[in-house]
């Protein structure tokens, strides 16, 4: 049942509950999609403790054919519950489907990489090296990833870029959801982002022609559920590169970037919300990996060159020249 049908079903039920009359029922039934319509030809009010004894308010409506297949008694006082039941079932069923649909976001926008038969995780850490790149908004993650791509032949996948591309993809069922989340600095449900990342990794590996690959996963995971899900179904991460930067510095960079980026979230209000999400939701991810001994922390306050020197030194120090 479509969302529209569910909404119409609910609307019909509310109308029925509000207005217990034949005319109201016929009007509301006509709101239902054709497949759910039925045409009661007589109606006796049902919401009474002793329906059979109740005086039929609409007994003059006997010119309508009885819809019941259970054999009309011919007694105009007999109560017919089932039209209510049908409308209630249609509305409630639709509502339940809608809620379930929202809870269990169909995970895979591309319908390829996440088929149920695939191994878990999809990529082996012995072949695929994953580095998560974290830091507050504007800390310089994208800037430093570009440097690392040049020197270490990483594939760079920005979760934010993938989400923006999905948002703009014609026909995407997630477009509006992504747009709302990004504007409000909220985190898009993990199923969407994890599926986009997995697809992008599969594409990059297929194009390179080698099963061995290294990835910088930029701006992800921003929430613990994403981290667990990604490591479980896509690939365990080797390290986290964390760019540490004060909010004031990041704000200045973002406002500057906002002059040309065209991004819907590079404005003062969205920036505030993004900072809060980062502190409340994303920092716990950094702390979690820190306890695992997997975090390389870099001071992102100095200029880009200086920051990169630090990144390179620490990365090579941890993984060796030929990781």
Ligand X SMILES: Nc1ncnc2c1ncn2[C@@H]1O[C@H](COP(=O)(O)OP(=O)(O)O)[C@@H](O)[C@H]1O
As annotated, the binding site includes: 138-143, 164, 186-188, 219-222, 226, 257, 263, 274, 302
For residue 210, how many C-alpha atoms fall within 13 Å in the half-sphere facing its CB?
A: 8
Where in 237-296 is the site for ligand UDP (CB under 6 A)? 265, 274
**Residue closest to ligand X when measured from CB atoms:** 140
d(CA 278, CA 18): 46
Which is nearer to ligand X, 125 or 304 (by Cβ)? Answer: 304
**What mask of x and - would describe binding to ligand X in positions 289 to 308, judged by CB under 6 A?**
-----------x--xx--x-
| Order of all β-strands in the sheet with 155-158 | 155-158, 213-218, 128-135, 239-244, 295-299
Least separation in angstroms between residue 253's CB and ligand UDP is 9
Binding-site members for a ribonucleoside 5'-phosphate are: 164, 186-188, 219-222, 226, 263, 274
Question: Which is closer to ligand X, CB of 94 or CB of 142?
Answer: 142
Furthest-apart CA atoms within the chain: distance in Å? 92
What single-letter DSSP state applies at residue 81?
Answer: -
Interface with ligand X (CB under 6 A), residue from 91, 94, 109, 137: 137
167 belongs to the binding site for ligand UDP (CB under 6 A): no
Q: Does 148 bind ligand X (CB under 6 A)?
A: no
Burial 195-205 (b: 16+ CB within 10 A, else e): bbbbbbbbeeb
Number of residues lying near ligand UDP (CB under 6 A):
20
Cβ–Cβ < 8 Å for 204, 213: yes
Measure Cα distances from 177 to 73, 172, 195, 276, 280 in Å: 53, 10, 15, 20, 21
Query: Rounded to an integer, what distance in angstroms lies between the CA atom of residue 132 and that of residue 241?
Result: 6
Residue 185 makes contact with ligand UDP by CB under 6 A: yes
113 or 145, CB closer to ligand X?
145
| Stretch in the footprint of ligand UDP (CB under 6 A) among 14-22, 36-44, 159-167, 293-301 | 159-167
Compute and round to an integer the Cα radius of gyration of the chain.
29
Beta bridge partners of 298: 243
Q: Is residue 182 at the binding interface for ligand UDP, with CB under 6 A as the rule?
A: yes
Query: Shortest approach of ligand UDP to residue 250 CB, angstroms?
Result: 8
DSSP 158: E
- 186 lies in the site for ligand UDP, by CB under 6 A: yes
> Could you say which of ligand UDP, ligand X, none residue 304 binds, taking C-beta under 5 to 8 angstroms by partner kind?
ligand X
Q: Which letter does DSSP use for residue 36 in this model?
A: G
Least distance in Å: CB of 227 to ligand UDP?
10
CB atoms within 10 A of CB 165: 14
The C-alpha atoms of residue 59 and residue 130 are separated, in whole angstroms, by 74
Measured in degrees and rounded to the nearest 5, phi and psi for residue 107 equal -75, -30
Residues 146, 207, 323: CA angle, nearest 5 degrees: 50
Compose the 88-127 pattern: x for residues touching ligand X by CB under 6 A, - for all others.
----------------------------------------
**Per CB under 6 A, 140 contacts ligand UDP:** no
- Chain residues binding ligand X by CB under 6 A are 135, 137-143, 253, 256-257, 300, 303-304, 307
Q: Which residues here bind ligand UDP, judged by CB under 6 A?
A: 137-138, 141, 158-160, 163, 181-182, 185-188, 193, 219-220, 222, 226, 265, 274
């Amino acid at each position: 049942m479509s969302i529209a049908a569910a909404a119409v079903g609910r609307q019909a039920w509310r109308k029925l509950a509000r207005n217990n009359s034949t005319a109201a029922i016929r009007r509301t039934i006509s709101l239902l999609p054709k497949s759910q319509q039925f045409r009661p030809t007589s109606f006796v009010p049902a919401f009474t403790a002793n329906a059979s004894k109740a005086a039929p308010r609409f007994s003059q409506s006997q010119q309508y054919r009885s819809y019941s297949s259970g054999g009309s008694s011919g007694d105009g006082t007999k109560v017919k519950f089932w039209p209510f039941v049908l409308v209630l079932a249609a509305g409630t069923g639709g509502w339940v489907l809608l809620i379930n649909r929202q809870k269990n976001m169909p995970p895979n926008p591309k319908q390829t990489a996440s088929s149920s038969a695939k191994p878990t995780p999809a990529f082996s850490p012995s072949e695929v090296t994953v580095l998560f790149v974290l830091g507050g908004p504007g800390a310089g993650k994208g800037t430093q990833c570009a440097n690392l791509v040049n020197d270490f032949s990483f594939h760079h996948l920005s979760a934010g870029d993938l989400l923006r591309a999905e948002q703009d993809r014609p026909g995407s069922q997630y477009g509006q959801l992504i747009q709302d989340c990004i504007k409000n600095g909220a985190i898009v449900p993990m199923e969407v982002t994890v599926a986009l990342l997995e697809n992008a990794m599969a594409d990059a590996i297929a194009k390179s022609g080698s099963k061995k690959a290294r990835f910088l996963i930029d701006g992800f995971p921003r929430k613990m559920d994403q981290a667990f899900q990604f490591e479980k179904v896509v690939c365990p991460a080797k390290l986290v590169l964390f760019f540490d930067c004060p909010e004031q510095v990041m704000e200045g960079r973002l406002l500057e970037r906002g002059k040309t980026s065209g991004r819907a979230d590079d404005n003062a209000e969205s920036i505030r919300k993004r900072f809060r999400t980062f502190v409340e939701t994303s920092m716990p991810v950094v702390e979690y990996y820190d306890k695992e001994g997997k975090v390389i922390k870099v001071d992102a306050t100095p200029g880009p060159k200086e920051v990169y020197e630090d990144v390179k030194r620490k990365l090579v120090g941890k993984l060796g020249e030929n990781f």
